[in-house]
A = this chain, B = another copy of it.
Amino acid sequence: MADSVDCDIRQSLDRISSRMRRDYSESLREINLYVGQDNLLARLWSGDGITQMQLCEHLKCEPPTVTNMVKCLEQNQFIYRMRDEHDARVMRIFLTEEGKALEEPVAAKWKQQQEKLLESVLPEERLLLRRLLKQMESNLC
């Protein structure tokens, strides 16, 4: 009985996230981005010139994932890479003007997605929901 509720929660989370990813992916194609690249750019919008390792930590993914994303973003002229002057192992990532210009449209898409997701969820329910999600997040660590 309790199990079926829990299972629904887990499956529901799964369905929501895959559906969000799918819709969001489609939406990002309008501005020539692939899903996930917006998060990488978001980190750079709050300060660029960081290393790939720092991006790994922020995105919570492995180095090869960052290598590939960065390569794709570089080919599309949204970022450029420069070798660190003091440590020749590290690459530092910078935004191009095109990359900076994506901040506004991406913010708009985030807002749009949030509003669709939380339509008809009351403010006090949102607060509670956030608390429960945070709790689940910490459970996974």
Using A17-B14, A18-B60, A128-B128 as known contacts, say yes or no to A9 and B114 having CB atoms under 8 A apart: yes
Decide: A140 and B20 in contact? CB cutoff 8 A: yes
A116 touches which one: B60, B128, B130, B139 (CB < 8 A)? B139
Q: Which chain B positions have C-beta within 8 A of A113?
A: 10
Q: Which chain B positions have C-beta within 8 A of A134?
A: 8, 12
Decide: B115 and A6 in contact? CB cutoff 8 A: yes
CA distance in complex: A111, B3 (Å)? 8
Using A10-B114, A113-B10 as known contacts, say yes or no to A137 and B5 having CB atoms under 8 A apart: no
B-contact bits for A1-42, CB 8 A (1 contact / 0 none): 011011111101111111110010000000000000000000
Query: Which A residues have a C-beta under 8 Å from some C-beta of B?
Result: 2-3, 5-10, 12-20, 23, 60, 110-111, 113-121, 123, 125-130, 132-137, 139-140
